[in-house]
Amino acid sequence: MERVLVVFGTRPEAIKMCPLVLELRRREGLETAVCVTAQHREMLDQALERFGVRPDFDLGIMQEGQSLHAVTAKVLCGMRDVLERYRPRLVFVHGDTTTAFAAALACYYQRIPVAHVEAGLRTHDIYAPFPEELDRQAVDLIARLHFAPTARARDDLLREGKDPGSVFVTGNTAIDALKTTVRPDYSSEITRWAEGGRLILVTAHRRESLGAPMERMFRALRRVAESFPDVRAVCPVHPNPAVRDAAEGILGGCERIWLTGPLDVFDFHNLMARAYFILTDSGGVQEEAPALGKPVLVMRDATERPEGLEAGTARLVGTGEDAIYQGCRRLLEDPALYESMSRAHCPYGNGTASRQIADIAQHWLLDGGAARRG
Ligand code: UD1
Ligand code: UDP
C-alpha cells in the first residue's frame, strides 16, 4: 500500500479537495489519509460534513483575527509532527492558501514529494492577491507534480521552467464538486424571499479588500439595492470580524438585502444557479460561474483566472464604489450585455479532474516516482 496524505485547511480547499479524497479512497493500492489544519473552523466543518469526509489528523489552529505569521508557524510545526507519524509517499496540497504554502514547506524540509492541485495560476504580482500569489508560486517551486486546471496555467508553469513531465492539465476539481450539488428543484427560504425579483449573490473576503475597499464594495451594493426595487441581494458574510463589522454596519437594515452567515456549499451553489448575477472578490466563485452561465462581476483589479473574462462570463469592475455600482447598473439595464455574459462555458473542465489526478498520481507512485529524488 502506498500512503498518500491530503492536506487542506479552508472552506474552498475542502470543497475542491473532498472530491479528490473520495476518488483516492476508491483506489486499490492506495491508503489515503486527510489532515486538516483547520485554518478555518466552522466553514471547513460545514464543507467536510457536506462531502462526508472525516479527517484523520486535525491541527485545530484557527484563532479569531489570526495573523499570517501565526498560521504559517502553526501549520509548519503541526505538519512536521503529522509527517513524522504518518510518513506518506506523496502529499497533496491545494491552491494558494497559507495552509498550502506552509504544508508544502514542511514536506520540503522532510523531503517528501508534494503534488499541487490547482497549480500555475498567476497574476505575477506577489501583492495581488496577497499573500496568495506568493503562496502558489512557492508551492509550485516545491511541487513534484503540478495539476494545472487549464492550458494557460500549464503554459505559465512551463515558462517558469518546470519539468514538462511534471505538469498535467486536468480541469479544476471545483467543477467536480459543482456536478454533485446543483438541483433543478432546489428551493429555500432565500429563493422564496427573492421570488419575482432579480437575485444578486454577493461575497467579499480577500485580505487586500479589508478596510476601505470593502466598505466601498458594500456601499455600492447598498446603492444598487436602493436604486432597483426588483433587486434582492443575498450576502453570506465571511466570519472574519473585519468583514462582519463592515457588512453589518453598511448593509444592515436594508430590506432588500439578506445578510446571513456562510452558506453550506449545497445552498450556495444552488443560489448561484438561480442568481441573476454574482458580485464577488472570490477566486472559486469565478470558476463556478462560467460553468453555470452566470454573469460575474469581480471586485478586484487583477485576476489569476482570466479564462472567465475570455469566456465573456466575468468582468473586472475594480474596487471603486462608483465603478462597482455602474457595473451592476449596466447588467441590470442592458439586456444585450446581460445575454452576452450569460452563456455557459467550461474553461475549467468537465468534472473529471479528480479522476484524472488520481490516475496520474497512482501511476507516478507505482512507477517509482517518489523514490527518484528528494
Ligand atoms: C483564507 C485564505 C484565502 C482564501 C480564504 C477562503 C490565506 C492567507 N487566506 O482567507 O486565500 O481565499 O481563506 O475563504 O490563506 N474565521 C472564523 N471561522 C471560520 C473561518 C474564518 O471565525 O470558519 C475568521 C477567524 O477570525 C479568522 C479569520 O476569519 O482568524 C480569517 O481567517 P483566515 O483563514 O486567516 O483568512 P481568510 O480571509 O478566511
Ligand atoms: N461558498 C460557500 N458558501 C458561501 C460562500 C462561498 O460554500 O457562503 C463556496 C463557493 O461556492 C466556492 C468557495 O466557497 O466553492 C469559495 O470560497 P471563498 O470565496 O471563501 O474562497 P476563494 O475561492 O476566494 O479562495
Cell of 259: 445578510
- Please give the distance, rounded to the nearest whole angstrom, from the Cα atom of residue 282 to the centre of ligand 2: 7
Max CA distance (Å), the chain: 64
- Please give the distance, rounded to the nearest whole angstrom, from the Cα atom of residue 236 to the centre of ligand 2: 10
Q: Top-level CATH class of 187-343? A: alpha beta
Is there a catalytic annotation at residue 50?
A: no
pLDDT value for 304: 94
pLDDT value for 27: 96
Handedness of CA 190, 194, 200, 205 (dihedral sign): negative
> How do the domains of the chain map onto residue ranges?
2-171+352-366, 187-343
Q: Angle at the Cα of 81 (from 79 to 83), degrees rounded to 5?
A: 65
Query: If residue 325 lies in a helix (H) or strand (E), which one and from where to where?
Result: helix 321-333
Nearest-ligand number for the alpha carbon of 16: 2
- Global pTM reads 0.97
Residues, the chain, total?
A: 374
Residuewise pLDDT in 10s, the chain (374 residues): 999 999 999 999 999 999 999 999 999 999 999 999 999 999 999 999 999 999 999 999 999 999 999 999 999 999 999 999 999 999 999 999 999 999 999 999 999 999 999 999 999 999 999 999 999 999 999 999 999 999 999 999 999 999 999 999 999 999 999 999 999 999 999 999 999 999 999 999 999 999 999 999 999 999 999 999 999 999 999 999 999 999 999 999 999 999 999 999 999 999 999 999 999 999 999 999 999 999 999 999 999 999 999 999 999 999 999 999 999 999 999 999 999 999 878 899 999 999 999 999 999 999 887 676 54
Residues 6 or more apart whose Cβ sits within 8 Å of residue 310: 347
Same fold, 2-171+352-366 and 187-343: yes
- Ligand 1 nearest-atom number relative to CA 132: 11
* Residue 316 identity (one-letter amino acid): L
Q: Angle at the Cα of 170 (from 20 to 163), degrees rounded to 5?
A: 110
Q: With CA atoms as reference, report the closest residue to 25 among 15, 13, 16, 17.
A: 17
Pocket test for ligand 1, best of 13, 15, 36, 40 (most atoms within 8 A of CB): 40
pLDDT value for 89: 97
Please give the DSSP secondary-structure letter assigned to residue 20: H
The CATH superfamily assigned to 2-171+352-366 is: Glycogen Phosphorylase B; (3.40.50.2000)
Q: How far apart are CA 352 and CA 177, in angstroms?
A: 10
Is there a catalytic annotation at residue 238?
A: yes
pLDDT value for 344: 79
Cis? peptide before 347, omega within 30° of 0 = no
Pocket test for ligand 2, best of 234, 265, 271 (most atoms within 8 A of CB): 265
pLDDT value for 372: 66
pLDDT value for 374: 47
Write out pLDDT tens, residues 77-126: 999 999 999 999 999 999 999 999 999 999 999 999 999 999 999 999 99
Alpha helices in 122-211 (DSSP H): 132-142, 151-159, 173-178, 189-194
